[in-house]
Chains A and B, each alone.
Chain A
Amino acid sequence: MKNIIKYYVFTFVLLGLVSCEDFVDIEPLNQVNSENYFNSEDDYQQALIGAYDLLQSSYINVMIGEIASDNTLCGGENANDVVGLQEIDDMTHGVVNEQLRSVWQWMYAGVNRANYIFEFRDKTDFADKDNVLGQAAFLRAYYFFELTKFFGDVPMPVDKRVQFGDEKDLVRTPQAQVFAQIETDLAFAASVLPETQAQKGRVTKGAAMALLGKAYLFQNKFGEAAQVLEDLIGMDIYQLHDNYDNLFLQQNENNIESVFEIQYSNLEGAGFGCLQCSEGNVAVGFNGVRGITGPTYATGFSFNVPTQDLVDAFEAGDGRYRATIFDVEAYKAEMAVQGIEIDYNEGFEHTGYFNHKYIPRQGESFQDPNLTNSTNYRSIRYSDVLLMAAEALNRGGISDDRARAYLNQVRQRASLGPVDASGSALTDAIWQDRRIELAGEGHRFFDLVRIGQAASAIPGFQANKNELFPIPLIELELAGSNWAQNDGY
């Protein structure tokens, strides 16, 4: 007995003194340590999917691009439904704004995921690596482009993740340098990516060139913009889809006109607690008509409602009107003729119009229907490429003839006659057509700012202030309060 106890005490003293360190030194079970990754092509491919993921969260950028502009009003249930969007609509947004913080957080999440790949770019070699890196470079450029569009000078971590504590060392990089990085990434992507990818939805050479052209245009680098955009047009990969009416329906996803399309699915549920986690297009549910009945449309939250001003901007006979504007009363009357009664509820700032390009239709979502609509966002369409090329050629004084030709190509598809203007009249015509062609697609506010018409077009817009959105105060604080706020906020 005594001996047993002696041994026991001895063992326990030994355990206590020697192996405590080892005892508590354990590794996470069945979880890959992020620092021991990138050991195969598959690892790179998987990390790349992770970097794509945040594209889906840019639905909020698209909504803000419309709501902030003269195209739509915020809407919603009441004056305080999603306060952040209401304030942006009214140009009263300040430094506390949940939605602007979401843009900031989600786009940087995308940047970090892309940078994670570049941080380990040299670890393992494989045949198709350039394709992976090209896509990652495009994604990083896409996220930075969104950030600089919203916030101007932004912190620009490149090729490494921002670890906890590193955020306090970041500075706001001048927008010109951010654009330079975007150009570098896109030029690289365009040089290594194929014209078509095996899977629909992946970034292609054309997408990189189009976004590069857009980046040049945003800097008024008309020569470079025209060059790359006309190169793209000359590659003859894309053409205008013949029917604008059904261009935005799910049957026409990834069509011949889609240069870059953000892919959504309704196969996973979602919740309000993590909107960025949804695999669906959250904006579509938000845009829907409140409580609408009938066989075609599904209900939504009545946000992002088109203004009369936008409706009036359509030329008579414009073939794009029906596909762009959903006039709920007109629809109700039409259906009544067929003997079907349609009901719906009016939301806040009801105009009677809804965004017909991105509106929920029956059967498009299953679980959590308002948050999981599967309609893809047509991020860069060929018509956008044509209009950007036209603008660059015209404003750069390169060729009004070619500019006019591109514009008329877009107008022709809309069943409108050609314009024969040139010079600044042609510029105005291009801008007017750009508004109509791309209405509801999230470009308007940034185009107005870019061409200097925001102050005149948007009620409440204060020049030298509202061109940029404020960096959310909490984001300034969390990064150590080292950065100046944007002017006027």
Chain B
Amino acid sequence: MKKIIPILALLFLTSSTIWAQFQVTGTVISTEDNLPIIGASILEKGTTNGVVTDLDGKYAITVGSAESIIQFSYTGLETVEFVVGQRNTIDVNMSPSQNVLDEVVVIGYGTSSKKELTGAVNVVSADEIEALNPTRLEQALQGQGSGVQISSQSGSPGGGFNIRIRGISTNGDNRPLILVDGVRYEDLSALDPADIESVNVLKDATASIYGVQAANGVILITTKKGKKNSKPRVNFDAYIGQQETSRKIPVLNATEYAILVNESYANGGSIPPFNTVSGLGTGTDWQDEVFQTAPIQSYNLSVNGGGDKIGYSVGGAAFTQDGIVGGDKASFERYSANVGITADLTDRLVFDTKLIYSHQRRKTLNENAIGSVLFNALNMAPTMTPFDENGDFTLANGLGNEVVNPLQQIANTHNNVFVNRVFGNASLQYTIMDGLSFKTKMGFNFSNVRAKSFAPIANYGLGKVFNTVESSVSESQELFYGYQWDNILSYNKTYNDVHTVKVTLGTSLQEERYEGLYATGFGIPNNDVEFADLSQATEIRPNGANSGQGQFRLASAFGRLEYGYNLKYLASLIVRRDGTSRFGPENRFGTFAAGSLAWVLTEEDFLKDSEVIDFLKLRLSYGVSGNDKIRDFGYVSTLSGEGTYVFDGGTLVEGTAIGALPNPEIRWERNKQFNAGIDLYLLNGDLTMSLDYFNKENQDLLLAVPVSGTNGTAGPGGGVPLANAGSIRNTGFELSIGYQKQITEDLNVNFNYNVTRLNNETLSLNDGVAFIQGGQFGIGQLPPTRWEVGQPIGYFYGYETDGIFQNQSEVDAGPSQQNASVGDLRYVDQNGDGAITVDDRVKIGSPIPDYIMGFSFGVNWKGFDMSALADAQIGNELVRNYERNLPLTNKTAYYKERWHGANTTTYFPRMTIGANDNDLFSDFWVEKGDYLRVKNVQLGYTLPSSLMKSIGVSKLRIYGSINNLFTFTAYQGYDPNISSGDPLNAGIDIGYYPQARVYMLGVNANF
């Protein structure tokens, strides 16, 4: 279309120029990139006299008089006007339209504008992503919009993130649906954040256009495309940086350790192991041994532009990151390339494609588990040296079966994953008649995931669980591939200038397949990683090779009707019917629907001319969406269990057994969501506010439900069935406030704040079950979390403490408590039966925050720009579970405050190796998880364009940036913003790999 307008304009206007008296010429430049604008309209105001700019942005117009006003306009840019006066040359800088109401919002199978939007949608733009230098896109979403909670699964390079939109709605799969350019795509690690144009998050029921996949919200990612009629533009972005840990956990040094260990032995009636503590000094700081500074770098080069009929973009990127633990043993590399083309094949037929290739390499260490590298660094005795006198790794003898020398562990770890991926889409859009078009689109993805890990023969000391007496190599090759074929008919027409009607009708077919091969070989020659390959293994055992396949299909038809009256009353209606292969024949098809309404009060007469209120809109939406995120074929019973036994003195014999118990009745989970919102713009649009209330109820949750043992699911390779059980309600408020002001021509400031109030409550569980337990605390202890009606999912369940027994009479007077002695934690006898038993456990916290917040700030002055972004969580608890607390393991520094005599402390128990119950899961281990993190601070300088132009650079910006600069928190562990992603194990901190603090220097250049 864009190219048609200038042509028409030309034809239209040429005849009127004969009255010319003044000729004005000039160049029209975009302030965005300092490049000429092709096809901008220039109009003599009040006449039909006009021209358009040529390929160099130049124009020439002849106007009637010196008083004539010339108007410059271009789609997406602010229209500007000048009185001609006596000038013959008028060069114009045009800047992007400041009217946020015209901002494009992607809503699924189509677009809308902020003005017309009836749903609750977060928009994150390329600028906002660019400002953060995220390694993965999820990082750029954190704190950027209300209702979206991002937590890190691990700070290690390539580590994943949990995205939760409007709370946790199931103990099953909480991940939102993610689409890249309209095509379902789940793994964001492959995407280069610099290739992303915008991210739109559909939070409310208007997401129902994605039907059975939309219950956890929908994230729509749009990648960058070339524009038609633009000169080739080269973008180069790069940064290099240095990473370091954002925190070390204070632990005892060697002298403190020896003193306290001696004390604990003496208290336990044993002989203290250290005869003298003098000369021990500070010993080994094991955290210093494992933490290191590590480099990070990113390069991105792209070219885009376009001619009359074609827009193109080509780009390539390289990203490498080493780990702050393990260096190149825990690293991530991504190399990617992409190409996009938009072409007008005929006047009515547009072809569009985007292809992305990505190659990733990731190496990992044992992390986020008992016995992980960081867990060992915390628990390793500081009196031990990394190496013994022979230069070998010191064995961690006597420290417990899971605690080993972390440096030895790093040295013996060889885990590699290589991923090759091609994904993208191609579409043809045909304009049948004005306002009516048909689009067919094929999306596809193909991934080859190859993994190899080598476990050498290793001896970490006596009885260590990591000891291996045989070397082995495990290799796997997995293919994931699929397609998505969408056909969409769109109709868009305005009747009588006031009735706007948009109709979208479509179908979608999707298929995902997976094939995997797995093998393990033993006996690697020389125990050497050089020979770590299946071809070199001396033995492959029965069960040593395996394969797997998977398949999933989805067939859908959908429609959306949008109606607007004079941009004042807006309504939208969505219906989608989905059929998914994940459910049995009886339950495969489901219909989902949603409706939304909006009323723009500022279009009403009583507000139209308000000096104060620029824009005011009320929104309402309600609808039902679904969730089908369960394993494939949960409705059929297959012989996928393990039935292995042994005959003839040691020969493994393979039999068959039933796998997971089928449930032919399973059907989609339903999400019913109500949303009410207000959008309010004040101060000429400088101040924007949105407030939303949501009430989201997920019913018939799709869960792997615990079932009776009599069903026989606990056999090897067996599994519980999937069933529709339970319901959860998330309610809350979201508030976003934005302020931006052009104070002077050179000075511009902006602030943004958003806050989400969350309330999570379980409404029901599967029949008859009072609660479901989960999580792990310590070793061999009862499960520490519960899911129970009336409570938030995964709340912490343990003993409440009431200080410390200060003297024997307090012990004697209290309820009977196993192993209780002076100096021990005193537990509360909740049921008053005179004894501390498992029945005295109560709720002692919840991992779900009450509030999540984001805050950003930016200022531009002349060529300088500065920005900062912070995010915060308030009201959740975290559990310290990284302390092994064995007689000779190291202790966290707070044990210096331990009880060691009457009234020495009312909080920290005594140290003893004797029998005690202080390690039971109690509120002693539960801490406030509140934090405020300065995620990013950046200072940039854009060199004057006058200077740069002479060397052919249209824009050059250099900047320095710091990620995760500081975290304000009282939490003692490494990182408060971390979670396994399992709702019943959330907030239990096993020594999570922290997110690194990153110092970066970078450059953004356009040519």
Contacts and interface: CB of A to CB of B under 8 A. Distances in A.
B22 to A, nearest CB: 48
B707 interface: yes
B642 interface: yes
B769 A474 contact: yes
A336 interface: no
B641 interface: yes
A479 B915 CA distance: 38
Contacts of A53: 642-645, 655, 657, 715-716
Contacts of B469: 366-367, 369
A350 to B, nearest CB: 11
B890 to A, nearest CB: 17
B463 interface: yes
Contacts of B886: 77
A52 B644 CA distance: 8
B780 interface: yes
**Interface residue range, chain B:** 35 or more
A83 B709 contact: no
Interface in B914-938: 915-917, 919-920
Nearest to A363: B469
Interface stretch (B161-169, B333-341, B549-557, B690-698): B549-557
Contacts of B781: 80, 83
Nearest to B554: A24
A112 B643 CA distance: 13
Interface stretch (A13-21, A177-185, A325-333, A382-390): A13-21
A49 B644 contact: yes
B580 interface: yes
A117 to B, nearest CB: 11
A264 B646 contact: yes
Among A9, A20, A54, A167, the one with the most B-chain Cβ atoms within 10 Å of its Cβ is A20
Interface in A462-480: 474-475, 477-480
Interface string B5-22: 000000000000000000
Nearest to B715: A109
Interface in B667-719: 706-718
B640 interface: yes
Given A113-B712, A164-B723, A367-B470, A56 B645 contact: yes
A164 B780 contact: no
A113 B710 contact: no
Contacts of B553: 23-24, 26
Nearest to B346: A1
Contacts of B716: 53, 274, 276-277
B525 interface: no
Nearest to A167: B708
A37 B658 CA distance: 11
B487 A12 contact: yes
A47 B655 contact: yes
A273 to B, nearest CB: 10
B712 A80 contact: no
A245 B770 CA distance: 51
Among A157, A263, A266, the one with the most B-chain Cβ atoms within 10 Å of its Cβ is A263
A374 B648 CA distance: 13
A15 to B, nearest CB: 7
B430 A5 contact: yes
A12 B440 CA distance: 10
Given A28-B638, A52-B645, A277-B716, A23 B579 contact: yes
Contacts of A54: 715
B647 A201 contact: yes
B723 A105 contact: no
A23 B552 CA distance: 10
Contact of B637 (A20, A26, A34, A366): A34
A47 B782 CA distance: 35
B470 A79 contact: no
A79 B579 contact: no
A126 B525 CA distance: 47
Interface residues of A, number: 110
Interface stretch (B76-84, B100-108, B175-183, B540-548): B540-548
B648 A199 contact: yes
B663 interface: yes
Contact of A81 (B398, B645, B767, B780): B780
Interface stretch (A212-220, A292-300, A433-441): A292-300
Contacts of B655: 45-53
Nearest to B767: A480
Contacts of B652: 265, 267-268, 279
B714 A34 contact: no
Among B644, B712, B780, B915, the one with the most A-chain Cβ atoms within 10 Å of its Cβ is B712
A163 B715 contact: no
A111 B557 CA distance: 46
Interface in B280-322: none
Contact of B707 (A98, A111, A478): A478
Interface string A197-232: 001111000000000000000000000000000000
A267 B711 contact: no
Contacts of A29: 549-551
A116 interface: yes
Interface string B773-805: 100001111100000000000000000000000
A299 to B, nearest CB: 3
Given A53-B657, A263-B646, A96 B838 contact: yes
Interface string B628-657: 000011001111111111111111111111
Contacts of B543: 268
Nearest to B714: A105
A50 B462 contact: no
B656 A366 contact: no
A33 interface: yes
A33 B647 contact: no
Among B401, B440, B711, the one with the most A-chain Cβ atoms within 10 Å of its Cβ is B711
Nearest to B557: A16
B643 A46 contact: yes
Contact of B639 (A16, A37, A288, A366): A37
B768 A164 contact: no
B661 A164 contact: yes
Contact of B656 (A27, A30, A49, A368): A49
B662 interface: yes
Interface in A100-114: 101-102, 104-106, 108-113
B507 interface: yes
B610 interface: no
A202 B647 contact: yes
Nearest to A288: B463
A265 B646 contact: yes
Nearest to B455: A367
Contacts of B645: 49, 52-53, 55-56, 201, 263, 279
A33 B635 CA distance: 11
Nearest to A107: B709
A268 B644 contact: yes
A78 interface: yes
30 contacts: A1-B346, A12-B507, A20-B589, A21-B579, A26-B551, A26-B553, A27-B636, A33-B636, A43-B656, A49-B643, A50-B658, A52-B643, A52-B655, A53-B642, A53-B715, A78-B919, A106-B709, A108-B709, A109-B709, A109-B712, A111-B712, A163-B662, A167-B710, A201-B646, A263-B647, A274-B716, A277-B642, A478-B708, A478-B768, A480-B768
- Please give me the 5 A-B residue pairs with the lowest Cβ-Cβ distance, nearest first: A49-B655, A50-B643, A112-B712, A299-B463, A109-B715
Given A167-B707, A263-B650, A291-B462, 12 more contacts: A5-B430, A16-B557, A31-B638, A46-B654, A47-B657, A83-B782, A113-B712, A113-B715, A161-B712, A265-B650, A288-B463, A367-B469
Interface of A: 1, 5, 8-9, 12, 15-16, 20-21, 23-35, 37, 43, 45-56, 76-83, 92, 94, 96, 98, 101-102, 104-106, 108-113, 116, 155, 157, 161-164, 166-167, 170, 199-202, 253-254, 263-268, 274, 276-277, 279, 288, 290-293, 298-301, 343, 345, 348, 366-370, 374, 474-475, 477-481
